[in-house]
Structure 1
């Protein structure tokens, strides 16, 4: 069985750590974990290669991307600049498959009262996420843009998805559930290619998340 080499950018993050936990025992997946501070991912050193670096440092990123099959990015900060750097470095290294996490609401796709609440809470914060998604969607990469709903730490993996152009409905989703979706994409890399996918908990369709 062919080994799939997977680079995790932003491996310190809570969703990323769930993804790593799901995949670390898969014999056909070889993980490389990339983070600015590797202290929070040292527990994975027996099952993954670990690199300390900055996505916005072209040398660091190039070294990490080289030879990978899939890049999964779960980042915060200057997300639009990071997206452009990742696209450029992946293209230069002929790495095609990208999974990139953004946010619900980047296309104003959240309907009704929940959409109004979401826009009020994070509307201005969504601008760099939209720019990131635009840069990725214009590229020739085999991308999946992932748009999670409001995140909880619940120990559950239930999720449903919506495609770009469909109304986003669910008000919340567990980080572990988003990770289950991403792990499924990594294990089935032909799924949801050139797609922007909303991820939410089924059956929770109120005016705002229950924890607000």
Structure 2
């Protein structure tokens, strides 16, 4: 299997890369701006590092050759998301797993919902909402991950999921748990097919994340 990680210099992407190297025999393409400066190639026999921009359609087409699964770590730009989707469709990519933010369906309720709306702002939420719509309407099998507020905690891989149309509950989740979830989907790509999942940590129904 060949997997492309877009935004490969991010924290979750790096955790995912390490897990894929340890737990699978997948070939990895790691794509990011200034990638060669920001990403260490720990296994040149399995890793290809590409320095590129999400809006570079020609380069995206080139790196997607033979790719089965794409993980997209950033959906802040609808224009870039459209470019990525167009390249994926032309390249025959089978699955897109994409990380976005909570609140794109006005699904975050209560005091936490009010706090989150103040912190994120309508402009940022709308950009992610538009990007999510592009992927949902792409015709490519997808899983969207609507992530709550992130923090790091080694050994904490606990996550709970909610569906589109359900209220989002949970003020935080560890990046380690998100990496575990992505691994679970990669290992069984049919799971959560064409679903938009709210991702949080169990028992974190707080008015704001504990680290704020």
TM-score range, shorter chain: over 0.9
Residues in 1 aligned to 2:43 and 2:56: alpha-carbon distance in whole angstroms: 23
RMSD between superposed Cα atoms in Å: 1.3
Q: Which one is further off, 201-210 or 46-55?
A: 46-55
**Equivalent of 2:84, from 70, 76, 86?**
86
Does residue 11 of the first structure (1) align with residue 2 of the second (2)? no
Residues in 2 aligned to 1:175 and 1:26: alpha-carbon distance in whole angstroms: 18
Does residue 30 of the first structure (1) align with residue 27 of the second (2)? yes
Q: Which one is further off, 41-50 or 9-18?
A: 41-50
Residues 32-181 of structure 1: pairs in structure 2 closer than 5 A: 32-38=29-35, 39-46=37-44, 47-75=46-74, 78-124=76-122, 125-155=124-154, 156-181=156-181
Residues in 2 aligned to 1:184 and 1:173: alpha-carbon distance in whole angstroms: 16
Unaligned runs of 5+ in 1: none
Residues in 2 aligned to 1:26 and 1:181: alpha-carbon distance in whole angstroms: 14
Give 1:45 deviation, angstroms. Answer: 4.1
Does residue 188 of the first structure (1) align with residue 188 of the second (2)? yes
Give 1:188 deviation, angstroms. Answer: 1.1
TM-score by length of 1: 0.94
Residues in 1 aligned to 2:121 and 2:83: alpha-carbon distance in whole angstroms: 24
Q: Stretches of 4+ moved more than 4 A in 1?
A: none
Alignment length, in residue pairs? 208
Residues in 2 aligned to 1:181 and 1:81: alpha-carbon distance in whole angstroms: 27
1:71 is paired with a residue of what secondary structure? strand
Give 1:122 deviation, angstroms. Answer: 0.6
The 8 Å contact of residues 24 and 48 in structure 1, kept in 2 or not, is answered as no
Residues in 2 aligned to 1:7 and 1:210: alpha-carbon distance in whole angstroms: 33
Give 1:33 deviation, angstroms. Answer: 0.7
Residues in 1 aligned to 2:64 and 2:23: alpha-carbon distance in whole angstroms: 21
The 8 Å contact of residues 144 and 196 in structure 2, kept in 1 or not, is answered as yes
Give 1:25 deviation, angstroms. Answer: 2.4
TM-score by length of 2: 0.94
